[in-house]
Chains A and B, each alone.
Chain A
């Protein structure tokens, strides 16, 4: 049985990672396509960094990912704190409402947002409303639930007497929040933010509908590559993106590790715990 488990795990990992490994190998190949691997070099990477259109949309994607995840993290944390202090009934209602965008199919979110933007464009006579701001707004919208969902459980775990104690000792409410509550929930805020970052970098469907003439994200651009076979530098680009996501994931795990270590230390020193 144990042996079977081992084999099964290996099979799962092969299925999960073989395509990515193949892609990375292909990104170093000088041949054409995946069935023709030879002349390994960094040629595709040089071509990639020379392709201004691709680099520009990659930077666009990164910019949107960073900005939208930052804004969504701040807004989401604020929302989570607010929702946490609601009554039980109200809280469950609001939580289900915030979860809807996450469960909603992307295509519905995308088209309805596009309709809304066009409607506003017509109302305020903005000819060219689709652009960096519409994409940003759309990304913040679908990022929010992930941040809230990540912060809420941590808030629930939080010892509510901690804040009360701080207030008792004369700390103003705002300061109590920043000094006592925020540091406690920080790890989950960060993991929520990183989650939002990857979701934003990943998104195609919603971006496709809300992008316009002046601003295009990477997945939207690659989707239009139908005139010619996929150039090899795209493989290089995917390899770069994969490495980037991998780094973000590593960072996330590292932070979590540090958090558990800190908590373990706390258990040793009971004076820290109220």
Chain B
């Protein structure tokens, strides 16, 4: 009993003491001011000290004396729900383009004071004033990237320059496809020459029909499983992010990347300050810190995505900077399409098409449920009758 008590006390002390010592080992620094900011970012979306990178949050604290409470989300939608429900206030969030448009439309962001973000000057012109934030009052780009076709040159011998390769019968059963409706519809729409931000029901219907056609050749609808699937050569073709392609290629030399001629999705993740922020000034300092070319360079080396600051490239490895995939030419970039906020009704319609048309009939069908129910019913009746019979004796 005593031993148990000691163990519990020990664990408790471990828990209480470590957070203090964790901040204490960064000695030479601005002393802690007692201020803090709450940062809400995608999981694994910042250089955090692993794999020989620098811990950027600790570095920010070291330079400013402001503590960073860092928490993470797994999707734009999860972040949106958390913000909408309330109960916690965040000072900096990093959503993607279309979600920023939605947050602005719903008055959930604060306009930024760019006097406090001098490093904004380093942001390249093509990433300012994008359609999701036309006057660029609410957001400062964090990363950007593209979606293209990743394929294995060992097996895919036809030239890859069009999304139509994802419909190719010759590679049936070896093609992976996006597991979320927005990205999947985007590909079908690009292939059909429809605007990726359309709200027209007929056009959405067409895209859904196109995706349905693809079902017979698709091996699996995935998101991040594509890493292992492609690296182990269990699949040959997948539409995925350029930044992640660089990670995959490091583990399998046979992989290649192509920008389809019909156009592709260009996404931007940008830093914003939500309306519930409690320390806007410190939040702007944090955004400014992330826009420092040197910081951004260290961050991108870790993430593999592209930096919106050309200034940062001088601090990065030449290999990454010269990569046609991470930083495609202006000519290719011109084919990039950004997802915009769709009206709620369109999102619902798309989800509905996705589950009823494209992926209908997946999972356990109703027949199986009915059979199971009948089986259980029959068993119950059988047991009941037997019991009754026995009671009769």
Contacts and interface: CB of A to CB of B under 8 A. Distances in A.
Interface of A: 32-33, 35-36, 47, 50-53, 55-56, 59-60, 62-63, 66-67, 70, 114, 117-118, 121-122, 127-131, 134, 186, 190, 211-214, 216, 221, 223-229, 231, 233, 251
Given A129-B87, A213-B38, A223-B74, 15 more contacts: A50-B50, A51-B49, A52-B22, A53-B48, A55-B18, A56-B19, A60-B15, A63-B16, A118-B87, A122-B86, A127-B89, A190-B4, A212-B88, A221-B71, A223-B43
B251 interface: yes
B1 A186 contact: yes
B90 to A, nearest CB: 5
A130 B88 CA distance: 5
Contacts of A213: 38, 40, 69, 71, 88-90
Nearest to A65: B11
Interface of B: 1, 4, 8, 11-12, 14-16, 18-19, 22, 38, 40, 42-45, 48-51, 55, 58, 69-75, 85-90, 223-224, 227-228, 231-232, 244, 247, 251, 276, 278
A58 B180 CA distance: 31
A32 B43 contact: no
B85 A114 contact: yes
Contacts of B223: 226
A34 B169 CA distance: 31
B182 to A, nearest CB: 15
Given A121-B87, A213-B89, A227 B42 contact: yes
Contacts of A118: 85-87
B238 to A, nearest CB: 14
A33 B228 CA distance: 8
A225 B44 CA distance: 6
Given A52-B58, A62-B15, A66-B15, A47 B8 contact: no
A47 B12 CA distance: 24
A108 to B, nearest CB: 16
B228 A224 contact: no
A221 B72 contact: yes
Contacts of B73: 224
A60 B55 CA distance: 20
Contacts of A226: 42-44, 74-75, 223-224
A211 B44 CA distance: 18
A134 B224 CA distance: 32
A230 to B, nearest CB: 9
List the 3 closest A-B pairs by CB distance, nearest first: A224-B43, A212-B88, A63-B15
Contacts of A55: 18, 22
Nearest to A31: B251
Contacts of B22: 52, 55-56
Given A52-B22, A70-B8, A131 B88 contact: yes
A95 B374 CA distance: 35
B38 A128 contact: yes
26 contacts: A47-B50, A50-B49, A51-B49, A52-B48, A52-B55, A55-B22, A63-B11, A63-B12, A118-B86, A130-B88, A186-B1, A190-B1, A212-B71, A212-B87, A212-B88, A214-B38, A221-B72, A224-B43, A224-B72, A226-B43, A226-B44, A226-B223, A227-B42, A227-B44, A227-B45, A228-B224
